[in-house]
Structure 1
Amino acid sequence: MTRPLYLHIGLQKTGTSYLQGLFLGSVDALREAGLDVYPTQRRAAYWLMLDVRDRFRPHDPAQAREVLRDLPGNLDAAQGRAALVSEESFSPAEDAQIQRLLAACSDREVHVVVTARDLGRQIPSVWQQGLQSGRAMTFPDYLARLHKTQGTPAPIWWQKDLPAVLEKWTRHVPAERIHVVTVPPPGADKGLLLERFCSVLGIDAGLLDQSSVGRANRGLRLEQAEVLRRVNAGIPDDLKRRDVYGDVGKRGFSVKVLGGAEGRPILLPESERAWCEELSRRYVEHVRAGGYHVVGDVEDLLPRDSAFAPDEQEVTEEQVAQVAVDALTTMVSRQLVTHRRRKDRAAAEAAERAARGWRGRLRRMLRV
């Protein structure tokens, strides 16, 4: 019997970082249970996606090109009954790129897993994720561009047009082997998404090490997003290269400094409700009629009232100034802690050298 390969392709901002953190943190336990996770590092999975989608840049490391090349051999050597590959940026792949990936999946029976979230929460989340990648577009401008490009293959829709993604992948994988896992609505049990995802893989969610997640992929609040947007607007484009900005701008400033701070959630304006609800109903109808394996309630894809703001959610200059001061205080405090530790370490080393000198002189005196 051909062993299955579960290819988790996204969508973006549908709990993918949470799921990947759990699975990558539980590789050994899952292997014992018969599920091989490949690659075993998030960066390698990202490199695999870059190779599949022809997105390498000159600054990408040479070993990044080895992941796709080694995929067939690693799948052949795996001993488990099934395997999992997870990378949320696979979903926008073009037909030729999908074929390239599937050709590298050895003789596995490929199953495609799509995690899907209601647009009311996904749209603001994807916008602020773009800020964490160096973009500087305002939320109103972002929404205007969504309206202008709706129904086109514009990149802004790649991770939101669920029917288009499903139709494209169905050209390569039968609909009955495409699993749509819906993200539970607000207020649902925290572990429900994981249980739904694990049910597709046929494993017990209890096997996963919850402590392996660490810090979640923390989204920005409205005020922090505005500060990051303004900072990005002032950074030259040549410094937004992903291997540079990702370490400093995203994982450094956005996640470690701005992430998790108090503030208002980023919500869709009430004026977008009718459009968002109508589009979401179309998504639900497409999933119901498509013959896909749906895990969860397809109506989880309909936005809740809590997704919409009663006003335009303006951020005042005073709020921007306060967030900026808080961020600078955090950054300077961390630098001071580092500097103090360096100073203390240097002082301790100097004292130890002095003590060794005195001990040496004392020994010489005693020998005389």
Structure 2
Amino acid sequence: MARRVFLHIGAPKTGSTYVQNVLWSNVETLKGVGILLPGKFSAHDEAMADLRGMNWHATPAWSWDRIADKAAGWPGDVVITNEGLGAATDAQAARAVRSMQPAEVHIIVAARDLWRTFPSMWQQSIRARSVWSFEDFIQAVERGRFEDFWEHHTANRMLRRWGDLVPAANRHLITVPGPGAPRDTLWRRFAEVIGIPDGVCDLTVPMGANTSLGAAEVEVLRRVNQALGDRYPHRAPYQRAVQRHLVDAVLKNRTNELRFGVGPERAEWVLDLAEQQIKDLDDYPCEVVGDLAELRPVDPQPQPTPGQVRHDQLLETAIETIIGMITHAEELHGLVPEPRVSPIVRLRRRAAGKVKQSLRMVKAAPRQRF
């Protein structure tokens, strides 16, 4: 039976990819100090989708019960990490916690300031096949028509939904450090919660695979999603095709110089929301690793929204993207080795080719009359 189980449930866009990269890159080392990550990275995503009843994987190999069984069979500590867990309903969260008991269950939630969260969250939704504009997204949040943003993508509500299921001492809120903080600050905070000593893990891993796209690039992707319609009904095939061949291979590798964000007309609104968020979290009994003040935007710089990208900029980006995908296709073609053919088969093919050539010559020759 596991001693402790740490459920890292989100929130999305809080550096979870970097933390997960460190964990999965050191999975054997962690096992050597008594910490298990059951299965592989995909197992945690499939188990999360199973728990939430999401039809995201066409042929999932892992269920929540299977990952819970793996945890139960480990004598030390267990870490289960997926930022989609935070969006579980009350009943789903209760089932998840219950399935890990009688181990001591801990809930880990990370929080990031809203000035950076809004554009990042919208972009992530586009990369998950959404088609709405940034203006539609931000208006929906502003006018109270998108409660799922607060329920599924911010620490406040998901911490209460999950945290209320465990003792206060087992609730952990990690704040995401602001720009300019040392690269490994977020990891060290995460490791502190679990009890991973300094120096155990190799931190020379990529910060994360979720490189932000520029305004023109994400708008191209949004329009591609619109054109795709109902193709790729499952999330996993969409990610394999669009994420791999368009986003990862081309869009991420562009300069992405044209940045975007919340427009200046909403700066005061975001600052007010930040103060409400800080107060709400300060009132909730849990361990705070970091500083709630980091959730307060520091000197927010106004940036244009994606809807303000000029048509000529968008057209140029689309054309360069097509060129990039052609190059990518050529590179993939070069990676596919020519099939190996035995000498006997080659001789047979050569002989067959000569026979066909002779027959064509006979057919093409003019017929003589007698």
Tell me which interval the TM-score lies in, with the shorter structure as reference length: 0.7 to 0.9
CA contact (8 A) 2:249 2:328 kept: no
Counterpart amino acid of 2:101?
S
Paired position in structure 2 for 1:228 = 221
1:329 paired with 2:328, answer no
The answer for unaligned runs of 5 or more in structure 2 is 348-370
**Do the aligned residues in 2 keep the contact of 1:75 with 1:106 (CA within 8 Å)?**
no
C-alpha distance 108-311 of structure 1, shift in aligned 2 (>3 A): closer
Q: What are the equivalent positions in structure 2 for 1:164-183 lying under 5 Å apart?
A: 164-183=157-176
CA distance in 2: counterparts of 1:356 and 1:134, whole angstroms: 47
Which stretch shows the higher mean deviation, 166-175 or 304-313? 304-313
Alignment pair present for 1:297 and 2:296: no
Alignment CA distance shift 1:43-1:14 (3 Å): same
| Pick aligned residue for 1:60 from 42, 58, 61 | 58
State the superposition RMSD in angstroms: 2.7
**Structure with bigger gyration radius:** 2
Deviations 1:304-355 (A, max 9, x none): 224532788721112112211221111111222344565x846xx67x8499
Amino acid at match of 2:330: L
Q: Are the aligned partners of 2:174 and 2:190 in contact in 1 as well (CA < 8 Å)? A: yes
> Aligned to 1:265, which of 259, 266, 288?
259
Which of 106, 111, 135 aligns to 2:101? It is 106
Cα displacement (A) at 1:255: 2.2
> Given the superposition, is the C-alpha separation of residues 240 and 219 from structure 1 closer, same or farther in structure 2, using an over 3 Å criterion?
farther
How far is the alpha carbon of 1:20 from its aligned partner?
A: 0.9
TM-score, normalised via structure 2 length = 0.85
In the TM superposition, what are the counterparts of 1:12-91 in structure 2 within 5 Å? 12-38=12-38, 40-56=39-55, 60-61=58-59, 63-64=61-62, 67-80=63-76, 82-91=77-86
| Mapped contact 2:29–2:201 kept (Cα < 8 A) | yes
Question: Who is 2:9 aligned against?
Answer: 9
Contact 1:131 1:228 in 2 (8 A): yes
Q: CA deviation at 1:215?
A: 6.0
Q: Matches of residues 183-332 of structure 1 in structure 2 within 5 Å?
A: 183-213=176-206, 216-262=209-255, 263-306=257-300, 308-309=302-303, 314-332=308-326
CA shift in 2, pair 1:56/1:205, >3 Å: farther
CA distance in 1 between counterparts of 2:84 and 2:276 reads 23
Structure 1 residues 322 and 54: alpha-carbon distance in aligned structure 2, compared to 1, 3 A threshold: same
Paired AA for residue 102 in structure 1: V
Counterpart for residue 364 of structure 1: none
Per the alignment, in what secondary structure is the counterpart of residue 209 of structure 2?
coil
Q: Kindly, what percent of the aligned residue pairs are identical?
A: 27
Counterpart in the other structure of 1:148: 143
Greater displacement, 300-309 / 178-187: 300-309
Once residues 226 and 157 of structure 1 are traced to their aligned partners in structure 2, the CA distance between those partners, rounded to angstroms, is 24
Normalised to the residue count of structure 1, the TM-score between the two structures is 0.86
Partner-residue secondary structure (3-state), 1:197: helix
Q: More displaced, 228-237 or 213-222?
A: 213-222
Deviations 1:115-156 (A, max 9, x none): 111011111001001111111111111101111226x7x323
CA contact (8 A) 1:134 1:249 kept: no
**Structure 1 356/161 Cα, relative in aligned 2: closer, same or farther at 3 Å?**
closer
1:60 counterpart letter in structure 2: A
1-structure distance, mates of 2:346, 2:103? 65
Structure 1 range deviating more: 232-241 or 206-215: 206-215
| In structure 2, distance between residues paired with 1:298 and 1:9 | 19
SS of the equivalent of 2:242 reads helix
**What is the distance in 1 between the residues matched to 2:263 and 2:225?**
24
CA contact (8 A) 2:275 2:296 kept: yes
Q: How many residues align?
A: 347
Does the 8 A contact of 1:95 with 1:168 survive in 2? Answer: yes
Greater displacement, 125-134 / 164-173: 164-173
Question: How far off its partner does 1:356 sit?
Answer: 8.5
Deviations 1:60-92 (A, max 9, x none): 31523xx32223432232132x21111111112
Query: In the alignment, which residue of structure 2 is the partner of 1:123?
Result: 118
Shift, 1:51, TM fit: 1.6
Q: Distance in 1 between matches of 2:132 and 2:46?
A: 27
Shift in alpha-carbon separation, 1:135–1:312, aligned structure 2, 3 A: closer
Q: Encode CA deviations 1:153-212: one digit per residue, 9 max, x unaligned.
A: x32333334322222223312233111000000111111001111111111243223345
CA offsets 1:8-61 (integer angstroms, 9 cap, x no match): 0000000111111110111110111221122x312110111112112236x631
Structure 1 Cα separation of the partners of residues 218 and 29 of structure 2: 38
Q: Output the CA distance in 2 between the equivalents of 1:287 and 1:240.
A: 37
Alignment check: 8 A CA contact 1:194 1:205 kept: no
